[in-house]
Amino acid sequence: MYWTLELATKLEDAPWPASKDELIDYAIRSGAPLEVIENLQEIEEEGEIFESIEDIWPDYPSKGDFLFNEDEY
């Protein structure tokens, strides 16, 4: 399983919290790339509820990781 920022952003609007099956269903319905669906299928935690993308990919960058000052715009 591998995640990139581009793949992970496909799940930003997912209905969190969600189970593995709900995320796979969302990815299929939203037209996410096949790699996203394959990554979700490789998750071993059956029945676990995920609160956010960080539960799936702990290295997912947060807004604080970017050097963008929203107050300037």
- pLDDT, one tens digit per residue, over 3-61 is 888 998 899 899 999 999 999 999 999 999 999 999 999 998 878 999 999 899 888 77
For the chain, domain boundaries: 14-57
Q: What is the reported pTM?
A: 0.80
Burial code of 48-63, b = ≥16 C-beta within 10 A, e = fewer? Answer: eebeebebbbeebeee
Neighbours of 46 (CB within 10 A): 8
Quickly count helices (H) and strands (E) in the chain: 4, 2
CA angle 15, 18, 19 (to 5 degrees): 145
